[in-house]
Amino acid sequence: MGQEGRRVAQGMGKVLDAASANAPNEIARLKGPDWRLISLPRMTSIKKLARLLPILLLAGCGKTTDNQSAQGGPKVQDSPVQVETTGEADPIASPDAVPGGTFTSWPGSYPKSLNMWLDYNTFSASVSSLMFEDLVNLHSTDNRPVGDLAESWEISPDKKTYTFHLNPAAKWSDGTPVTAADVQFYYDVIMDKKNLTSLFRVDLSRFSRPEVIDDHTLKVTATQAHWNNFWVAGGLCAFPRQVWANKDFNTINFEFPVVDGPYMLAPDGIKTNQSIKLQRRGDWWGRIKKYNEHKFNFDYLTFKSMEDRTKALEVLKTGGFDEYGIYTAKIWAQDTLVIPQVQKNWIVRQNIYNSEPKAFQGFALNMRKPLFQDPRVRQALACLLDRELMNEKLMFNQYFLLNSYYPDLYPNDINPAAPPTKYDPDKARALLKDAGWQVGSDGVLAKDGQPLDITILHYEGSDLRHLNIYIEDMKAVGIRSHIELVTQATWSKRIDNHEFDIVWAAWSAGRLRDPEPMWSSKTADDIAGQNWAGVKDPQIDALIDQQKTEMDLDKRNDIDRKIDARLMDINPYVLMWQSPSERILYWNRFGTPKYVLSKYAEGGPESDALAYWWYDAAKAKALDDAMKNNTSLPALPAEVHYGQ
What is the reported pLDDT for 71? Answer: 67
| CA atoms of 309 and 628, how far apart (whole Å) | 29
The verdict on 390 and 252 lying in the same domain is no
Q: In the chain, what percentage of residues exceed pLDDT 90?
A: 77
Instruction: Evaluate if residue 96 carries a pLDDT over 80.
Output: yes
The answer to whether position 110 is within a domain reads no
| Domain end point (choices 578, 598, 627) | 578
Query: What's the N-to-C CA distance of the chain in angstroms?
Result: 31
Residue 532 belongs to what domain range?
A: 361-578
The verdict on 426 and 568 lying in the same domain is yes
Where is average pLDDT lowest: 28-37, 258-267, 366-375?
A: 28-37
Where is average pLDDT lowest: 3-17, 97-111, 367-381, 543-557?
A: 3-17
Q: What count of other Cβ atoms lies within 10 Å of the Cβ of residue 293? A: 17
Q: What is the pLDDT of residues 200-252, one digit of tens each?
A: 898 899 999 999 999 999 999 999 889 999 999 999 999 999 999 999 999 99
The answer to whether position 172 is within a domain reads yes
| CA atoms of 102 and 299, how far apart (whole Å) | 6
- Distances in Å between the Cα of 479 and the Cα atoms of 135, 428, 451, 476 are 54, 11, 8, 7
CATH number, domain of 168, equals: 3.90.76.10
Strand order in the sheet with 217-221: 150-155, 161-166, 217-221, 211-214
Please, are residues 233 and 222 in contact by the beta-carbon 8 Å criterion?
Answer: yes
| Domain end point (choices 541, 556, 578) | 578
Give the count of domains, the chain: 2
Tell me what the mean pLDDT of segment 278-294 comes to.
97
What is the reported pLDDT for 70? Answer: 63
The answer to whether position 246 is within a domain reads yes
The answer to whether position 290 is within a domain reads no
- Distances in Å between the Cα of 348 and the Cα atoms of 298, 316, 468, 592, 605 are 19, 12, 36, 12, 14
Instruction: Evaluate if residue 52 carries a pLDDT over 70.
Output: no
What is the reported pLDDT for 61? Answer: 44
CATH number, domain of 409, equals: 3.10.105.10
The answer to whether position 109 is within a domain reads no
Instruction: Output 52 or 566, whichever has higher pLDDT.
Output: 566
Q: What is the pLDDT of residues 614-624, one digit of tens each?
A: 999 999 999 99
The verdict on 438 and 573 lying in the same domain is yes
Q: What is the pLDDT of residues 114-130, one digit of tens each?
A: 999 998 888 898 899 99
Instruction: Evaluate if residue 537 carries a pLDDT over 80.
Output: yes
Instruction: Evaluate if residue 272 carries a pLDDT over 50.
Output: yes
Q: What is the pLDDT of residues 554-601, one digit of tens each?
A: 999 999 999 999 999 999 999 999 999 999 999 999 999 999 999 999
The verdict on 386 and 499 lying in the same domain is yes
What is the reported pLDDT for 603? Answer: 83
| Domain end point (choices 209, 233, 260) | 260
Tell me what the mean pLDDT of segment 252-256 comes to.
95
The verdict on 256 and 393 lying in the same domain is no
What is the reported pLDDT for 626? Answer: 98
The DSSP output letter for 208 is: P
| CA atoms of 88 and 225, how far apart (whole Å) | 30
Q: What is the pLDDT of residues 152-168, one digit of tens each?
A: 999 999 889 999 999 99
What is the reported pLDDT for 56? Answer: 29
The verdict on 369 and 501 lying in the same domain is yes
